[in-house]
Amino acid sequence: MTAYDYDLFVIGAGSGGVRAARVAARHGAKVAVAEEYRVGGTCVIRGCVPKKLLVYASKYAEEFEDAVGFGWTSEKVSFDWQKLIANKDEEIERLSRAYIRNLESAGAELIMGRAVLEDRHTIRLGDRRISARIILIATGATSFVPRHLPGHELAITSNEAFNLERLPSRICIVGGGYIAVEFAGIFSGLGVETILIYRGEKILRGFDEDLRDHLSTEMRKKGIEIRTKADVARIERSGDGVRVTLEDGAGFGAGQIMFATGRIPNVMGLGLEAAGVEATPHYAVKVDGYSRSSVDNIYAVGDVTNRVNLTPVAIREGQAFADTVFGGKDIRVDHANVPSAVFSQPEIGTVGLTEELARQGFRSVDIYKANFKPMQHTLSGRDERMLMKLVVDRDSDRVLGCHICGPGAGEMAQLLGIAVKMGATKADFDATMAVHPTAAEELVTMRDKWSG
C-alpha cells in the first residue's frame, strides 16, 4: 500500500474547506489545508460578513430619519467611512483567527501558500511536494471583469469596494445580480449617488418576477437610478474619477465604477488538467452527488463546483464529504429548496420555486399575494411597501415557493425553508395561528387567490 503524507489535503481554507478538514480530522484522518491568502475564504474575508456589516451601516441614515416620526430628534448626525472600515477589518481578523483556532483544535495542519496539483495524488507548494490519498478542492469563486472592455483596468469589484480609502460622490455599478443590488443599497444608503447598469430587462435574473419588479420600484424610491437594457462600451479616466460610455452612446462621469457581473470558479493555474480533473465549459469542477470529481480520489465542494453558490451550502457539502469519505456514512447533499436572502434594501428572502418555474412543472398553480405598508412606516411616513407571495400546487395543496421583499425577509426565509422542505401545505399555513402584530402574520392569513 502506498504511503502518503496526508490522508486528506484540502486546497482552500474557506467555509467549505475548513468544515471538511475539521470533520475529517475528528474522524481520525491526517489532514492539511493550504491557503494562499487569508483563512476564512470569500464569505468571511470579502463576502457575506463584511457585506452584511456595511448593509447595517448604510441603513442608519433612513433609521435616523424614520425615528423623527416616533418622537426622536436627529441632529448633528455624521458618518465616518474610515472608522467603519477599520471596525470591519477588526471583526474580519477576529473571525479569521477563530477559523485558524478551530482547524488547530481539530488537529488539522494549516499551510500558508499556493497549492497546485501535479497529478492525482501530488500537490506542489513552492519548492515543496506533498502527497495525499484524498484531495479536496475548495477554492471558491473569484470576481469577474470583462477583459475585452476598453478601460476595464479602471473598474473595481466587490473585493476592492470593501477597502476604498474614501467614498466617491457618485458610483456606477454594472450588473443586476444580488451583489450588484446589495452594493447599490450600501452606497446609496451612505449618501453616494448610485447608478445601476444592467444589460437585461430586469434586475435579479432567476428570482420571482414579482420580487424583481417590487425591488426595482423600491430601489428607485430610494434614489437609485436603474438603467436596464444597457451595457458599458468603454471606461476612460476623467480627473479623479472615470467617464463611462454606454453602448447606446450615452455617457456620464463617476467617482468609481464597480463591476458585479458575476463570479467564476477559482481554478486558473490550479493544475486540473495535470491531475485529469474535468471541468465544465464555465470552469467549474464537475462532480457527482457525493462531490467526487472525474478522478475518484479528488473531490470538490462550494462555489468552485458552481452548484448552489451559497456559504451554508458549501459548509453542508464539506460536512457531507468528510462524513462519507472518512466517517463511514453515506450522505448526499440535497440542493432542492435551499432558502436564500438578498440583503438589498428592502431585503429579499426566498425559498422554493418561482411562479414561472412552478407553472412549467405543475399542472395547476395557485398564487397568494399581499402588498402592504409595514407597520413601522405608518408613523415614519416612509413610502415603502412590503411584498409577500406564496406559490401553491393546486392538486396537492403543497406550498412550492415563498417569496418576500421587506424588513426581516431573510430571517423569515430561514424558518419558511423548514416548512417548504417538509412539504407543508397551504392548509398547514392556514391552520397556524398568526403572531400579531407582525409582518410575518400575512403568511398565514392570506386566503384569497390572486387572480391578476
Known catalytic residues are 436
* Whole-number Å distance between alpha carbons of 89 and 83: 10
Query: Nearest-5° angle of CA 96, CA 97, CA 99?
Result: 65
The DSSP string of 23-48 is HHHHTT--EEEEESS-TTHHHHHHSH
Q: Residue 171's beta-bridge partner residues?
A: 194, 256
Q: Residue 372's beta-bridge partner residues?
A: 386
First to last CA, the chain: 68
Helix (H) or strand (E) holding 135: strand 128-137
In the structure grid, which three cell numbers stand for residue 62, read together?
433612513
Distances (CA, A) of 209 to 13, 188, 199, 213, 215: 36, 24, 17, 6, 10
* Whole-number Å distance between alpha carbons of 447 and 452: 15
The DSSP string of 426-443 is HHHHHHSPPPSS-STTHH
b/e burial code for range 85-99 (CB count within 10 A of at least 16 → b): beebeeebeebbeeb
Give the sign of the dihedral formed by CA 14, CA 20, CA 23, CA 28: negative
